[in-house]
Structure 1
Amino acid sequence: MEVNGILTYDGCNFLRQRLVLSMLTGKPVRIRNIRAKDAQPGLREYEVSLIRLLDCVSNGSHIEVNISGTSVLFKPGVLLGGILEHSCPNQRGIGYFLEPLFMLAPFCKNPLDITLKGVTNNKIDPSVDMIRYSLMPVMKKFLVTDEGLSLKMTRRGLPPGGGGVVQFTCPVRRTLRAFQWEDSGKVQRIRGVVFTSRVAPTVANRILEAAKGEFLNFLTDVYFTIDNAKGSSPGYGLCAAAETNKGSHLSAEAMSNARGEETPENKLPEDVGREAAWRLLEEVYRGGCVDSTSQPLVLLFMVLAPTDVSKIVLGPLTPYSMHFLRHLRDFFQTKFKIDEHQESSLVGEDEEEEEEEGPRTGASKLKLTCVGSGYTNISKGQV
């Protein structure tokens, strides 16, 4: 809803989407009734931290918050970038702050080099490992080159203590390119990392063996690295990624319960390994050229591409991606054409043989098509 030239929304949901799209389009946004009926109304600490981060990345942003914190008026400035450092509250993971930066970083005036401190792995947000496996390949595909693009974790931090340190660097681009990405390929190998912190060394091996026991039923090229971190909080987990012969990456993860977390029972290392494996197999079943975590980033880059047709095949859309499509329509006036993807027959061109082949394995796929808005980074003088 637009009121006096300001896009207005109610509620705290999808705050990141609205602020990121406001930064890219330059349109001011007002968010009202943020937990107005809650026992503790208003913005949470991590949401305030996110707004401060966006203010640091930009120049000239104007932010107004009412006394109770239940209403925010955000007038975006110019994306500046540069060398920055930000401490993230331990209530949310560093992934909560990294995802918006992936959307904004290519369109800054200066290459972004930011150091984030906080929790690297938790159950709510994508971990830094998962972002490396999932979002980084998508960024490389759009930026064409990976020169200057990196995501390094110098220290791992688990909840509730945190203490992790992550450095993200990204080059700038004047424009993106339109693309057609319709073939996800077949899974040819599985890679991943098993991480532990302040637990017995044998825990990592127990997680690894449980996960490999699930994957080896389907393929033999399975390899995991082990990261025994010396963090402030105990815990363990696994992040796994499936790579296809067409350059697609599908990822999933699972981790132990955090210290002080109210849960009916503790997870054994074998449970964590099997849970991560099952989640990755579910992502493979869902299919598509990118996994659930990367869907919003791909949809955004399709809208920001030049005024040409872009296509991609995705698995079932997540609720977060569905709302992101609505916000893209509000800010860019861009609509997607969504069709059911018909996979090419593996038997031949004979229709009778195709009918006899039976139902396809995996979830139904969607083909999303849109015409890019021709977005240009006005601060970047050259491609």
Structure 2
Amino acid sequence: MVRIDGSKGEGGGQVLRTALALSLVTGTPFTITNIRAGRKKPGLLRQHLTGVKAAEAVGAAEVSGAELGSRELTFRPRALAAGNYHFSVGTAGSATLVFQTVLPALLMAQGPSTLMLEGGTHNPAAPPFDFLQKAFLPLVRRMGPSVEATLERPGFFPAGGGKFRVDVKPAPLKPLSLMERGRVLRREVKAVVAAIPFDVAKRELDTVAGALKWRPDEFRTEELKRSPGPGNVLMAEVESEHVTELFTAFGERGKRAEEVGGEVVHEVKRYLDAEVPVGEHLCDQLLLLLALAKGGSFRTLPLDGHAETQLETMAHFLDVKVQVREVEREVREVEVRG
């Protein structure tokens, strides 16, 4: 039985999600205490509980402590099973984080699976659906498995109501080397608004255009007519020869459009200036994939709290060595060996 202190590292839901994913893959039971101790509302929220329930279904697991607000959980997987699964958060909590919890296990299953997930698809502090579709899943496919995601309807905080489908065809994960970004092939900045003034999108794009000096045809707006609730997301996509990265910021009540635009500008400039292929948020997801493949390497920005937490949690379940080397002040080279 692995014992994990959830207050370590970034002190949020990352520890729990990674522990659930690797417990399913390895068949190793675990107990976690101090769940989300570093957050304003510690313990399991609806999206974390849905992730636990999803892992329970995929692994036919025995679980204790799976209740809203619970700060301690014991999880014992019994049999990993492919299949057709439907998981609903029931709030605007992130459905994409629920997906990331069970995907590693379904990549290792003995047959194809279909996931239908409902909840938030475009949430602050979580990867939006577009990041999964354009940045993360293409790398999964390059490593062997086939994973296709389709957005049926977006769901913004606080209304939620989003829905997407994922089709998974497992295959052995192959090591991946991603040391160069290559030539930039395409750039796009898109401001999406739903049930809020269209002027917000224009001001966001004007802010980004003024700072990045990209071509006018690389900026566009999208107004959603049938969203379950109001919402706004600004996304900058950089498609290069060897990788695509996506940077996002979300509009919120009381937050100026210029501030949203400034957040995206900062992330894009930092990424492009460092000339690395892997951005900050893609790093921790890629770490897990390479650990499961028992090999690989990539260049990225300095590791953030999520990536450091990923390394600590992986060490409980997997016998892999991860070396992080500083190449320049803003460049790190990561190597994973089985």
In structure 2, what is the Cα distance between the partners aligned to 1:36 and 1:273?
31
| Structure 2 unmatched runs, 5+ | none
Q: Deviations over 1:140-176 (max 9, x none)?
A: 22127x5xx3211111121211111111122111x22
Paired position in structure 2 for 1:359: none
Partner of 1:247: 242
Aligned to 1:85: 86
Structure 2 counterpart of 1:275: 263
Instruction: Give the letter aligned to residue 176 of structure 2.
Output: F
Distance 1:136 1:212, change over 3 A: farther
Q: CA RMSD, aligned part only?
A: 2.8
2:32 is paired with a residue whose SS is strand
The question of 1:139 aligning with 2:134 is answered: no
Could you say if the C-alpha distance between residues 83 and 35 of structure 1 is closer, same or farther in structure 2, counting changes exceeding 3 Å?
closer
Aligned to 1:230: 226
1:317 deviates by 1.0
Report the secondary structure of 2:281's partner residue: coil
Percentage of matched positions with identical amino acids: 21
Contact 2:51 2:101 in 1 (8 A): no
8 Å CA contact retained: 1:65, 1:71: yes
1:365 is aligned to 2:322: no
- Report the TM-score, using the length of structure 1 for normalisation: 0.77
Q: Which runs of 5+ in 1 are unaligned?
A: 1-5, 259-264, 343-362, 373-383
1:332 corresponds to: 318
**TM-score by structure 2 length?**
0.86
Say which one has the larger Rg: 1
Match status 1:179 vs 2:179: no
Corresponding residue of 1:352: none
Aligned equivalents of 1:330 and 1:40: distance in 2?
A: 26
Partner Cα separation in structure 1 for residue 123 and residue 139 of structure 2 = 23
8 Å CA contact 2:236–2:264 kept in 1: the answer is yes
Q: Does the 8 Å contact 1:250/1:284 carry over to 2?
A: no
Distance 1:255 1:166 in 2: 20
1:193-204 to structure 2, matched below 5 A, reads 193-204=190-201
**Distance across 1 between alignment mates of 2:244 and 2:75:** 35
State how many pairs are aligned. Answer: 331
Following TM superposition, by how much is the alpha carbon of 1:227 offset from its aligned partner in structure 2, in angstroms?
A: 4.2
User: Distance between the aligned counterparts of 1:287 and 1:229, measured in 2?
Assistant: 38
For the 8 Å contact 2:107–2:169, the answer to whether it is kept is yes
Q: 1:40 to 1:120 in 2, by over 3 A?
A: closer
The equivalent residue for 1:302 is 290
Runs ≥4 in structure 1, deviation > 6 angstroms? 35-41
3-state SS in 2 of match to 1:252: strand
In the alignment, the residues of structure 2 paired with residue 137 and residue 160 of structure 1 have an alpha-carbon distance, to the nearest angstrom, of 29
1:65 matched to which residue of 2?
65
* Conserved? CA contact 2:194–2:225, under 8 Å: yes
Residue 190 (str. 1) matches residue 187 (str. 2) = yes
Q: Measured at CA, do residues 235 and 75 of structure 1 come closer, stay the same or move farther in structure 2, by a change above 3 Å? A: same
In structure 2, distance between residues paired with 1:300 and 1:179: 12
Cα shift at 1:250: 2.1
Once the two structures are superposed, residues 221-247 of structure 1 have per-residue CA deviations (whole angstroms, 9 ceiling, x without a partner) of 724452424223222221111122x32
Letter in 1 for 2:249: A
> Residues 54 and 102 of structure 2 are in contact (CA less than 8 Å); yes or no, is this contact kept in structure 1?
no
